[in-house]
Each structure stands twice: as C-alpha cells, then as structure tokens.
Amino acid sequence: MYTKLSLLFLFYVLSVSCLQAQKSFVTRNGQISFVATNDDDVSAVNNEVASRITNNGQITFSLLIKSFFFQYAEMQDHFNSDYLQSNTYPRSDFKGNITNIQSVNFSKNGIYPVTVQGNLTLHGITKPITVPGTIEVADNKIIAKARFILVLSDFNIHADRVAKKVAIQFNCTCQ
Amino acid sequence: MKKTLKYFLILVVVVAIAATGFVVYVYNKPHRNVAKEKAVTLTAEQLYHAFKDNEQQANQLYLDKAIELTGRIAQIATNQQGQTVIDFNTADSMVTINCTFKNKPANIKVGDSVHFKGICTGYIPDMNVVMNNGILVE
C-alpha cells in the first residue's frame, strides 16, 4: 500500500516538474517580411505573426496573408487577389522543431545557431522545409531569426511575371 | 508620306503619355483609408464568437472589411515596427482581438472603453483575431 502511494506521489512530483520544465515563449506581433530575389521593389512586411517556441524545441507560427503590407497598394491588391488568393487561403501555418535544441542554453544570454525542420502550409499546399536560423536568449525573452528562399511554384503560386523566388525574413521576439 | 510620319509621331506621344499615366497610377494608388469606409459595428466578443463558431463563414462576412469594434482595452503594446497595438479580451482567455493602429493614437490607457475602426485580416485559432490599419472613432 505504501509503495503504491509513494509511487503515485513520485509520479505526481515528476509530472509537475515536467510541466514546469517546459516553458513557452509567445508573440502575437512577430515580424515576417519578404522581398523578391529579382526585384527589391517587390517587398512586404507582416507585423502580426503569431509564434510559439518552447524550450524543448517545438516551434510554430501562423500568419494572415492579408496582413502583409506593401509599399505600393496596387501590388498589395495583385498579391492578394491574383497570386495568393487570400480569400480562399487566408492563413499560412508552420509547425516544426529545432533539431539542435540541446545547444540552446535558455538560462544564458547569447545567440545560438539553430536548424529548424517542419511543415509549411501556404496557399493550400503543405511542404517540408529545413531552414537555418538563430535563437537569441536575452534575459526573459528570446529573439528568433531566420532567412531563407522560397520557390513560389513549390506552393503553386504563379507570379512568374513578377517573381519566381522570394527571400523570407523571420524575426520574432517572444516572451 | 510626311502626313503618315506626323500621325505616327502623334501616336507615339499618345502611347507614351498613356504608359506614363499607367505607371504613375500604379505607383501612387493610395492605400485604403479606413476613416472614409463604412464599417460593420460589432463588439470584440461578437467578432470572436463569429470566428470561433464558424471560421469560414466569418471569413466571408468580415475578411478585408472595415469593422468598428467596441471594447475595453486589455493591453497596450508596441510591435516590432513601432506601431501601437491594443488587445481586447474575449470569453476565451487564450484568444484576444489584436488591433494595430495606423498612426500612434492619442492618450489611451488600459481599461478604457474605445471604438476601434480597422480592417479585419483574419483569425489565428487559439491566438487572436487580427485587425490593422486602425483608427479611434468617437
């Protein structure tokens, strides 16, 4: 009887400490921007990216296509209606893992190089991606950054007249 | 012959003017001005429930539309580009209505009841409904 109880107690203590050990860093106003690799004028920024990163390496982000702001309103209209069909596909989601999370020390300030692997859903298409980035630990917040190239046709986006590839910049300060 | 050349030159000039006009139009077309748009009036709670209950239907109703939201400011923050963002709480403690201002608003504080007019860009489940391009209205 005592063994059972003490086992139960041990299990309880372990599960509580596990819950405490996992820490989430969240933002609702992270930033993702992109620029066409062939034309600097084709660029936009989204300041309403929701992202969650946990200290065991899970990373997710979601953004709304209509939240991308272009300098040129006409471009923004074409982007939404002709290329991304944002009424049909209003959101893009990413779910993945930091594959070398053990090299990030969340209790020591610094910039740690990481590799992120996961699935990106964009324009109704889901594809695995692997991108290099950094995690900066700065007191009680973390700043996640990554830059990578996306080939638009991989996601069935046909904007050949404007751009075939875009450079994506991910920059999220999570607390 | 001279006449044909003259017409040809006139045609070239006309095409050049039209092309210039088109480029000027494309580069100068103004962004939406929420202040001048007619808005749907809702409470923060109503907007949240619309998306929570049926995202697809709410997208059809509210996506890209000007909405005037009434609610109490739960949080004031600044985004990474320096714009002011306010949050309205909803019945779900996980979900907020995240509202970004176009220009810095005058004197607002947490707890104030305000009318925020902006454009709804959509819903991120378990996170927030997003509004941007916002202004305060009386």
Domains of chain A and CATH, by start: 23-174 (2.40.128.110)
- Given an 8 Å threshold on Cβ–Cβ distance, is B64 in contact with A30? no
Confidence at residue B61, expressed as pLDDT on a 0 to 100 scale = 97
For residue A173, the chain B residue with the least C-alpha distance is B80
Task: Please check whether residues B22 and B87 belong to one and the same domain.
Answer: no
> Of the candidates A40, A76, A77, A32, which has an alpha carbon nearest to the alpha carbon of residue A163?
A40
| Contact with chain B for residue A30, Cβ under 8 A | yes
Asked if the model's pLDDT at residue B1 lies above 70, the reply is: no
- Given an 8 Å threshold on Cβ–Cβ distance, is B26 in contact with A72? yes
B61-115 per-position pLDDT tens digit:
999 999 999 999 999 999 999 999 999 999 999 999 999 999 999 889 999 999 9
Per-residue pLDDT averaged across A90-95, rounded?
98
For residue B124, the chain A residue with the least C-alpha distance is A62
How far apart are alpha carbons B120 and B64 in whole angstroms?
A: 5
**ipTM of this complex prediction, to 2 decimal places:** 0.86
Beta-carbon count within 10 A of A130 CB: 11
> Of the candidates A163, A171, A167, A140, which has an alpha carbon nearest to the alpha carbon of residue A23?
A140
Nearest Cβ partner for B121 among A30, A48, A173: A48
Asked if the model's pLDDT at residue A19 lies above 60, the reply is: no
The lowest-confidence range among A23-37, B14-28, B115-129 is B14-28
Task: Please check whether residues B69 and B130 belong to one and the same domain.
Answer: yes
Beta-carbon count within 10 A of A47 CB: 22
Nearest CA-CA distance, residue B14 and chain A, Å = 24
Give the number of A-B residue pairs with CB atoms closer than 8 Å. 77
Per-residue pLDDT averaged across B12-20, rounded?
92
Confidence at residue B22, expressed as pLDDT on a 0 to 100 scale = 82
Task: Please check whether residues B5 and B69 belong to one and the same domain.
Answer: no
Asked if the model's pLDDT at residue A16 lies above 60, the reply is: no
Nearest CA-CA distance, residue A142 and chain B, Å = 14
> Of the candidates A116, A119, A111, A113, which has an alpha carbon nearest to the alpha carbon of residue A98?
A116
- Given an 8 Å threshold on Cβ–Cβ distance, is A62 in contact with B127? yes
Give me the domain span that covers residue B122. Answer: 36-137
Name residues 115-154 of chain A within 8 A of B (Cβ).
Answer: none
Q: Which of A24, A27, A48 to mutate against chain B (most B CBs within 10 Å)?
A: A48
> Of the candidates A160, A137, A126, A166, which has an alpha carbon nearest to the alpha carbon of residue A45?
A166
How far apart are alpha carbons B115 and B124 in whole angstroms?
A: 22
> Of the candidates A24, A36, A32, which has an alpha carbon nearest to the alpha carbon of residue B79?
A32
Task: Please check whether residues B19 and B51 belong to one and the same domain.
Answer: no
Task: Please check whether residues B21 and B75 belong to one and the same domain.
Answer: no
Domains: count for chain B: 2
As given in the structure block, the two tokens for residue B69 are 């939201």
Asked if the model's pLDDT at residue A3 lies above 70, the reply is: no
Q: Please, what is the angle between helix B44-53 and helix B55-62, to 10°? A: 130
Name residues 33-72 of chain B within 8 A of A (Cβ).
Answer: 59, 63-64
- Given an 8 Å threshold on Cβ–Cβ distance, is B77 in contact with A30? no
Per-residue pLDDT averaged across A80-99, rounded?
97
Nearest CA-CA distance, residue B135 and chain A, Å = 16
Task: Please check whether residues B23 and B42 belong to one and the same domain.
Answer: no
Per-residue pLDDT averaged across A155-169, rounded?
95
pTM: 0.88
Name residues 76-105 of chain B within 8 A of A (Cβ).
Answer: 77, 79-81, 83, 85, 87, 96, 98, 100
Task: Please check whether residues B26 and B48 belong to one and the same domain.
Answer: no
Task: Please check whether residues B74 and B47 belong to one and the same domain.
Answer: yes
Per-residue pLDDT averaged across B31-60, rounded?
95
Tell me the chain B residues in contact with residue A73 when contact means C-beta distances shorter than 8 Å.
Answer: 29-32
| Element at A158 (helix H, strand E) | none
